[in-house]
């Protein structure tokens, strides 16, 4: 593949405690870094948007296709010892984070696996915006793993009832691509519909706020 170095997955640190997950570095080759940085979608909304709702310019569109490829799925299947090829994929992109996002959660039962690829040039040393693998649904500490959202970091986990994760509140630009393997096509369609409705209401409320007269 041109825009993905799968050795970042194969050589990434794996642990099954408290649930199966891995953390890798350098999934994007150095000579592709500038191209992906410059072609990252121009998104003005917070939250994750599906790739169908975002204008993808080259070469970013090629990067997304490689993340969605059977070859990448096979590398992950080998890493986790689970055949992921039967599951449809949902790819979403985030550029902006709001204060309420990042809360501790496990992901819904319709998800089988999630992979996150980060594309931020620099990141502050503070804990804000750094995803953590957690032991319960209430506490950010202690944590089993912390993911700096630096350019080329890749993190993935198998969803379970105890796959707690989240990050401390961060407001601002936080570039990440998420690929989720979903249990079946019906669940995939439902998630896409729900995401579209969420983005519609965000846009609607944003327009109402802008239209309010100044006091």
Q: What is the pLDDT of residues 66-92, one digit of tens each?
A: 999 999 999 999 999 999 999 999 999
62 in any annotated domain: yes
The angle, 0 to 180 degrees and rounded to 10, between the axes of the packed helices 60-67 and 70-80 is: 40
Q: CATH number, domain at 63?
A: 2.60.120.620
**Other CB atoms within 10 A of residue 210 CB:** 7
2 in any annotated domain: no
176 in any annotated domain: yes
Look at residues 7, 20, 8 and name the one whose alpha carbon lies nearest to residue 144. Answer: 20
50 in any annotated domain: yes
| Counted domains in the chain | 1
Look at residues 130, 120, 155 and name the one whose alpha carbon lies nearest to residue 36. Answer: 120
Residue 209 has pLDDT above 80, yes or no: no
214 in any annotated domain: no
The pLDDT of residue 190 is 87
The pLDDT of residue 65 is 98
| Predicted model pTM | 0.90
3, 45, 50, 162 from 22: Cα distances, Å: 20, 29, 24, 16
Q: What is the pLDDT of residues 113-159, one digit of tens each?
A: 999 999 999 898 999 999 999 999 999 999 999 999 999 999 999 99
149 in any annotated domain: yes
Average pLDDT, the chain: 92
36 in any annotated domain: yes
Q: Write the CB contacts of 114 (distance below 8 Å, at least 6 apart in sequence).
A: 107, 156, 157, 159, 178, 179, 180, 181
Q: If you average pLDDT over residues 15-39, what whole number do you get?
A: 98
> What is the span of the domain harbouring residue 47?
7-208
Position with higher pLDDT, 209 vs 196 = 196
Residue 179 has pLDDT above 70, yes or no: yes
1 in any annotated domain: no
Residue 171 has pLDDT above 50, yes or no: yes
């Amino acid at each position: 593949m041109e825009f993905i170095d799968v050795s970042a997955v194969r050589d990434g640190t794996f642990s099954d405690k408290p649930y199966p997950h891995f953390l890798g570095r350098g999934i994007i080759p150095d000579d592709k870094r500038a191209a992906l940085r410059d072609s990252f979608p121009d998104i003005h909304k917070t939250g994750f948007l599906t790739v169908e709702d975002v204008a993808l310019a080259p070469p970013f569109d090629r990067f997304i296709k490689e993340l969605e490829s059977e070859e990448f799925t096979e590398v992950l299947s080998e890493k986790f010892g689970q055949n992921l090829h039967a599951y449809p994929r949902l790819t979403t992109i985030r550029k902006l984070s709001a204060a309420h996002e990042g809360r501790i959660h496990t992901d819904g039962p319709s998800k089988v696996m999630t992979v996150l690829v980060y594309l931020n040039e620099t990141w502050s040393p503070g804990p804000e915006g750094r995803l953590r693998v957690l032991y319960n649904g209430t506490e950010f500490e202690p944590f089993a793993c912390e993911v700096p959202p630096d350019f080329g970091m890749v993190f993935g986990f198998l969803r379970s009832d105890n796959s707690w994760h989240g990050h401390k509140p961060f407001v601002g630009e936080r570039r990440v691509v998420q690929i989720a393997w979903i249990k079946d096509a019906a669940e995939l369609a439902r998630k896409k519909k729900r995401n579209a409705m969420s983005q519609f209401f965000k846009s609607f409320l944003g327009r109402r706020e802008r239209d309010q007269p100044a006091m």
